[in-house]
Amino acid sequence: MPLFIVWYLLQAGTILAYTHADTLRGSNGRGRVWWDLQHYDLTVQFFPDGYIVGENKIHFTITSVPCDSLQLDLDTTMHIVRMQLETGENLDVSTEGKVVWVKYPFHTFSAGSQHEITVNYSGTPRKAVNPPWDGGFSQLKDKNGKPWLSVSCQGLGASVWWPCKDMQWDEPDSGIDLHFALRGFKEMKDSLAIVSNGRFLGVDTRDVEQNSSAPSENLKFWHWQVKNPINNYDVTFYIGDYVHWHDTLTGEKGLLDLDFWALRYNEVKARIQFAVVKQMVHCFEYWMGPYPFYEDGYKLVEAPYLGMEHQSAIAYGNDYKMGYMGFDRTYTGVGMNFDYIIVHESGHEWFGNNITAKDIADNWIHEGITTYSETLFTECMLGKEKADQYNVGEWRNIENDKPIIGTYGVNTEGSNDMYDKGTAMMHMIRILTKDDEKFRQMLRGLTSEYYHKTVTTQEIESYIQDHTGVELKAFFNQYLRSNVVPEVEYYIADRKLHYRFDNVVPGFSLPIPVASSNKHALLNITSDWQTISFKKSYNLKFSKDFLIKVK
């Protein structure tokens, strides 16, 4: 067993228990591993009381020898009405908690063959408790008493409202078609828009049967289409009395469509608040490469919760305030110069939506690098000095409660420090690279190399090391797999400075500038005691560019 793992286990001191249900949800098990998603075609009818009726056509390819059970995921609040193969054959299903087992002699299918399963279902999805963190359906009324609905389900999973292969490492290669309609909303439904991911392809009118004793109802289905691969939890809808306006910008890949949707009575302040989008996209393209979803466009949509990175349809709920709900998370004042939710959630288009962690245990790739995108935008807006202040200010929120990498295979994330310790890591890597252009090309290289792909932490670590030229193995072990902050111990005696790191993984070191009133030095600090000539000083300062403690 590697020494750093032994060290980590000793530091952790606790063992977490996971259930069979956790393993089914979080692992690429026997019912998942042999088939690859190609496309979803999802149709949902929404009722005023929160009830939904849906159909999902799941297109997939057989990639290896299949077993005779296929795993889908669907919350227990949902009921499967019927499931059919593309031949029209009805499929036998059984449920195990939130897992749906589809029984069929799939072993008769050859590798490379393509198939389709159609799932008809209905039910009342879970209501959001504290969205977007504890998500589900948010079903509110706007200030004019009109319906305002949406969903947030990161972590909870898209299976809370539609049947799918609910895991991050298999995205539908050819995207998703979405057909949404309001049913039973009476005359009010004509004033409501249904916004979703991707491109709007128009409204289709269909006659839908109600029951044997009632006439069919004429419904308008809003059709949206996503051409690119997409995370399940990014698939969303927004239903409300929206006003819409369109714009474009000329970016690195040509003309990018920008669409904005705000509640009708918020249009004036929304146009003012959302104007930052062009500057932001240009900044992010400079630092992180072309916007990853030109085919699907960019949308910013007012939502009944704080925000979410829904691909090509960013959820906005920051109440048209600067900072984070009018508060500066950095405690520096710098954070009040822009709207945190617009910048942070849009940054996820590059890291989280374009590059997606295979396992949510590695979601620091989403949150840590995206949190650093706030610093990059601050630099574009206010310069490097203010950006550095902003970044270091966010470190005050780090709790060091547990490692920021979670447990693999059981659908669990690590510490929320993935945000602020993640941005600290990116800042330190930039400092260690000693070349901002090389660092910028590394970020752009990541979004190009892993364009529309799912990745592991190990892949991202290796890429960053290879393209910065900095040895970072122990660095990543310390900040990703440990919740302990490196601590510099030092003392001065006989005109000599004695120093070392305590609380570090084997092999950890950092080159840290140190200054006093009469001396400057660059110390390559390790876990071994070292000594340099140094006059006694009561004004010894270690660089603020590194997340360390000093004793």
What is the amino acid identity at position 439?
Answer: F
Give the whole-angstrom CA distance, residue 224 versus residue 176. 8
Give me 391's structure tokens.
Answer: 């970044």
Distance CA(361)–CA(156), nearest Å, equals 14
Q: What are 512's strand-pairing partners?
A: 523
Q: Do residue 442 and residue 526 come from a single domain?
A: no
Determine the pLDDT at residue 187. 73
Q: What's the average model confidence in pLDDT over 134-162?
A: 97
- What DSSP string runs through 310-329? -TTSEEE-STT-SBBTTB-T
Which strand (E) or helix (H) includes residue 78?
Answer: strand 78-85
State the pLDDT confidence band at 4, using cuts at 50, 70 and 90.
very low
Inside any domain, residue 10: no
Residue found by looking up tokens 């916004």 in the block: 195
pLDDT tens digits, 319-361: 999 999 999 999 999 999 999 999 999 999 999 999 999 999 9
Out of 216, 234, 252, a domain closes at 234
Residues 386 and 499 in one domain: no
Per the domain annotation, does 229 fall within a domain? yes
The band of 9, judged by pLDDT with boundaries at 50, 70 and 90, is very low
7-11, 157-161, 166-170, 270-274: least confidently modelled range? 7-11
Whether residues 416 and 351 share a domain: the answer is: yes
Specify if 339 maps to a domain. Answer: no
What does the alpha-carbon distance between residue 171 and residue 454 come to, in Å, rounded to a whole number? 8
Q: Is residue 150 part of a domain?
A: yes
Per-residue confidence band for 224, with pLDDT thresholds at 50, 70 and 90: very high
Sheet holding 254-263, edge to edge: 242-251, 254-263, 298-302, 314-316, 307-308
Kindly state whether residues 65 and 206 are assigned to the same domain: yes
Amino acid 45: pLDDT: 97
The whole-number pLDDT of residue 495 equals: 85
Q: What is the CATH number of the domain that holds 535?
A: 2.60.40
Residues present in the chain in total: 551
Same domain, 435 and 518: no
Mean pLDDT of 275-302: 98
Residue 7 has pLDDT above 50, yes or no: no
Please indicate, yes or no, whether residues 494 and 472 belong to a single structural domain of this protein: no
Nearest 5 degrees, angle CA 366-CA 367-CA 369? Answer: 75
Mean of all residue pLDDT scores within the chain = 94
Same domain, 492 and 381: no
Euclidean distance between CA atoms 112 and 118, whole angstroms:
20
Same domain, 446 and 502: no
The residues near 108 (Cβ < 8 Å, ≥ 6 apart) are none
Q: In this structure, what CATH number is given to the domain that contains residue 100?
A: 2.60.40.1730
Give Cα 348 distance to the centre of its chain.
6
Total domains in the chain come to: 3
Mean pLDDT value across residues 303-321: 98
457-466: average pLDDT:
98
Q: For residue 202, list its beta bridge partners.
A: 223
Take residue 160 and report the two structure tokens written for it: 């809370």
Q: Say what the pLDDT of residue 413 is.
A: 96
Q: Residue 341: which residues within 8 A CB-CB, separation 6 or more?
A: 306, 307, 316, 317, 318, 324
Q: Reply yes or no: is the peptide bond before residue 132 cis, omega within 30 of 0.
A: yes
- pLDDT tens digits for 89-102? 999 999 999 999 99
With respect to residue 475, please indicate whether it lies within any of the assigned structural domains: yes
| Pair 374, 512 in one domain | no
* 77 pLDDT above the threshold of 60: yes
Q: Is 442 helix (H, G, I), strand (E, B) or coil?
A: helix
pLDDT more than 90, % of the chain: 89
With cut-offs at 50, 70 and 90, classify the pLDDT of residue 209.
confident
pLDDT level of residue 189 (50, 70, 90 thresholds): confident
Instruction: For residue 157, tell me if it sits in a domain.
Output: yes
> In the structure, what pLDDT confidence band is assigned to residue 1 with cuts at 50, 70 and 90?
very low
Nearest residue to 471 (alpha-carbon basis) of 417, 427, 507: 507
Among 234, 268, 286, the domain boundary falls at: 234
Task: Kindly state the average pLDDT of the residues 444-455.
Answer: 98
**pLDDT-above-70 percentage for the chain:** 95
The neighbouring-strand residues paired with 147 are: 141
Give the integer Cα–Cα distance in Å for 232 and 162: 10
DSSP type of residue 210: -
Residues 447, 513, single domain; the answer is: no
User: What is the domain range of residue 360?
Assistant: 345-481
Note whether residue 78 is domain-resident: yes
DSSP string, 154-178: TTT-GGGTS-B---TT---TT-EEE
What is the per-residue pLDDT across 488-512, written as a single tens digit (0 to 9) for each? 999 988 888 999 999 999 999 999 9
Whether the per-residue pLDDT at 13 is higher than 60: the answer is no
Q: Is 431 helix (H, G, I), strand (E, B) or coil?
A: helix
Q: What is the CATH number of the domain that holds 429?
A: 1.10.390.10
Do 83 and 199 fall within a single domain? yes
Quick one: 220 and 155 in the same domain? yes
- Residue where a domain stops, chosen among 199, 234, 269: 234
Q: What is the pLDDT of residue 538?
A: 62
* Any domain includes 435: yes
Model pTM score: 0.94
